[in-house]
Structure 1
Amino acid sequence: MLGLSQDIFRRTGKFYGGYFIFPWFVVGIMATCYRLTGAHLNPVITVANIIRRDKPAGFSSLLALLYIPAQYAGCWGGVALTWWFTRDPGQLTIQRKTGQDNFWYSEAVGMEFAASFMFVLVYLSQSGRFTWTAPETGLQALIIGASYGSLVAWSSRRTGGSLNPAYGFGQNFWDQMDEGAKESFQFIWIYTAIPFLGMVLALAIHMLVHVPGNQHAKEKAVE
Structure 2
Amino acid sequence: MTDIFFPEVLGTATLLLLGAGVVANAVLPKTNGNGGGFLMINFGWGLGVFAGVYVAYKSGAHLNPAVTIGLVASGDDLGGDTALKVLVYLVAQMIGAFLGAVLAWAAYRKHFDDPEADPDAQLACFSTGPGISAPLWNVITEVIGTFVLVFVVIAFGHTPSGLGPLAVALLVVGIGASLGGPTGYAINPARDLGPRIAHALLPIKGKGGSNWSYAWIPVVAPLIGGALAGVAAHAFAYA
- Tell me if TM exceeds 0.5: yes
Give the equivalent residue in structure 1 for 2:193. 169
Q: Give a deviation string over 1:96-151, Cα, whole Å, max 9, x none.
A: 45xxxxx2434432221111000010121222xxxx22075xx2332223213432
Structure 1 letter corresponding to 2:87: L
Distance 1:18 1:65, change over 3 A: same
Structure 2 letter corresponding to 1:44: A
Distance 1:93 1:199, change over 3 A: closer
Question: Counterparts of 1:54 and 1:63 in 2: how far apart (Å)?
Answer: 12
Q: Secondary structure at the match of 1:134?
A: coil
1:168: how far off? 0.9
Question: Counterparts of 1:83 and 1:12 in 2: how far apart (Å)?
Answer: 11
The alignment status of 1:94 with 2:118, answered yes or no, reads no
Larger Rg: 1
Kept after mapping to 1: 8 A contact 2:74/2:231: no
Kept after mapping to 2: 8 A contact 1:176/1:184: no
Summarize the alignment of residues 177-216 of structure 1 with structure 2, pairs less than 5 Å apart. Answer: 177-178=201-202, 181-211=208-238
Give the equivalent residue in structure 2 for 1:117. 147
Identify the match of residue 20 of structure 1 among 28, 33, 43: 43
> What is the aligned residue count?
199
Kept after mapping to 2: 8 A contact 1:26/1:146: no
Kept after mapping to 2: 8 A contact 1:79/1:171: yes
Q: Which is further off, 5-14 or 39-48?
A: 5-14
Give the equivalent residue in structure 1 for 2:56. 33
Q: Give a deviation string over 1:43-93, Cα, whole Å, max 9, x none.
A: 11122223332457x565233431211110010011111222223353334
Q: Which is further off, 1-10 or 66-75?
A: 1-10
Kept after mapping to 2: 8 A contact 1:104/1:158: no
The answer for unaligned runs of 5 or more in structure 2 is: 1-13, 27-34, 113-121
Identify the match of residue 92 of structure 2 among 70, 77, 80: 70
Distance 1:63 1:197, change over 3 A: closer
Give the equivalent residue in structure 1 for 2:107. 85
Identity across matched positions, percent: 23
Give the equivalent residue in structure 1 for 2:30. none
Question: Counterparts of 1:5 and 1:142 in 2: how far apart (Å)?
Answer: 16
Kept after mapping to 2: 8 A contact 1:95/1:158: yes
Question: Counterparts of 1:47 and 1:122 in 2: how far apart (Å)?
Answer: 14
Q: Quote the RMSD (CA, aligned, Å).
A: 2.8
TM-score of the superposed pair, with normalisation by structure 1: 0.75
Give the equivalent residue in structure 1 for 2:3. none
Q: Secondary structure at the match of 2:237?
A: helix
TM-score of the superposed pair, with normalisation by structure 2: 0.71
Question: Counterparts of 1:5 and 1:60 in 2: how far apart (Å)?
Answer: 32
Kept after mapping to 2: 8 A contact 1:121/1:202: yes
Identify the match of residue 6 of structure 1 among 14, 19, 38: 19
